[in-house]
Structure formats: C-alpha cells, structure tokens
Amino acid sequence: MEVKINNKTNISKLLKRWIRKSAGANNNTPIHIVEGSLPPKLCGKSGYYINASGDIIHHPNAYRKAWGKPIYIRSTIRVEVGSEWLLNNMSIHSLKMNKLKCFL
C-alpha cells in the first residue's frame, strides 16, 4: 500500500513541534510538505513595508506621518520538509522517543 503525504495531510501537534525544532523555527511557523527527501529547512522572507515606487521602508510610522500609507508585504517564512523524509524518519520508535522527550 502506497502512502501519500501532502499539505492536506493531518500531522499531529507533537510531530509539527518536532519538525519545527529540527529546523530551528518558531512555534507558529507554518509547515509545507514538498516532494522528495528534503530534511526540514527554514525558507522565505519576513514581512516588510514598501512605498508606491517599490522602495523598502525601514521606519513605516515616520513614513506614514510624512508621505502617506506604506504597503505591507506579508511574511513568507515557512518550514519545508520532504514527504519521503517524513516517511523514512518517522518510525514508531522515534515518535515514542520524541514524545518522551517532550514530557521530560
């Protein structure tokens, strides 16, 4: 029987916590499952402000008072992990050991 894992697969909170920890990410970083055997990796850029001409604004409050409304570009930070990596590295034994580590 072939198992398919994608972004719609329900992953437990414990497993998400373990994936984020292995990638060195924050607790609220979204996880995207991609094809292949890619280990957990932090990708993307944090959010920032630009003006109408596309220049990056470092102090949006000062800009807002002087010239108008800055445009917010949202964050694309995420953890990418391969579906094959998840299947190969998530045996029952390793899940039990990680669960025990969380409660210690």
Average pLDDT, the chain: 80
Pairwise pLDDT comparison (14 vs 8), residue with the higher score: 14
Please report where in the chains the tokens 């949006």 appear, as a residue.
60
- pLDDT band of residue 66 (cuts 50, 70, 90) is low
Cα separations (Å) of 53 from 56, 67, 88?
9, 12, 47
pTM listed for this prediction? 0.69
Residue type, 12: S
* Side-by-side strand order, sheet with 71-73: 56-57, 48-50, 71-73
> Backbone phi, then psi, for 67, in 5-degree steps?
-125, -5
The string of pLDDT tens digits covering residues 31-63 is: 998 888 889 999 999 999 998 888 898 888 887
Q: What is the largest CA-CA distance in the chain?
A: 63
CA distance 57 to 102: 41
Strand, helix or coil for residue 51: coil
Q: Is pLDDT above 50 for 1?
A: no
